[in-house]
Amino acid sequence: MRRSPAARKGRGKVRSPSWRGGDGAVFERLRGVFACLGRPTHVGPAGSGALTKLANQLIVASTICAVAEALTLAESGGADPATVREALLGGFADSTVFRQHGLRMVEGNFQPGGPAKYQVKDTSTAIAFARTRALRLPVSEEVDRLFQAMVDHGDGDLDHSGVILELQRT
């Protein structure tokens, strides 16, 4: 059974999820052990934990790009991105990614929490796996392209919220 944890940053006292794949009966016997490592969830057969991690990374990467686009759009129209971010807190656009990475974007703080070079590793891996299943993921492909361009421009060590710099570069 493989453990695929979500990023722990910003979670406070919330226990980090721990996604597991493998035999369900074995998972249940070991649930107490897994609970020491986080909030365990059996997600399917062997390999499913890793797939869940990739699914998580696609959601995170796509959301970071959507936040970057929204703040770039707001600023290009004359609105203050920091004020727009504050105005959207608590609404449907609000999320942990929006709160944390939106703040990094408006502050211009791209000190690595999750470096872009690791984000592109995960998005590229997910897209490669999708291709083996004859799936096309057009949104994720564009997100991967943006992060790859960020890395190619020498910004791979910046936090993945620095993708806003890539959007503003184009």
The residues assigned a catalytic role are 53
Give Cα 46 to chain centroid, integer Å.
23
Q: Of 25, 100, 29, which is closest to residue 67 (Cα–Cα)?
A: 100
DSSP class of 153: I
Distance CA 166, CA 26 (A): 45
Q: Of 38, 60, 167, which is closest to residue 118 (Cα–Cα)?
A: 60
Distance CA 37, CA 39 (A): 7
Q: Is 69 left (phi over 0), alpha (psi -120 to 50) or beta?
A: alpha
Distance CA 9, CA 66 (A): 20
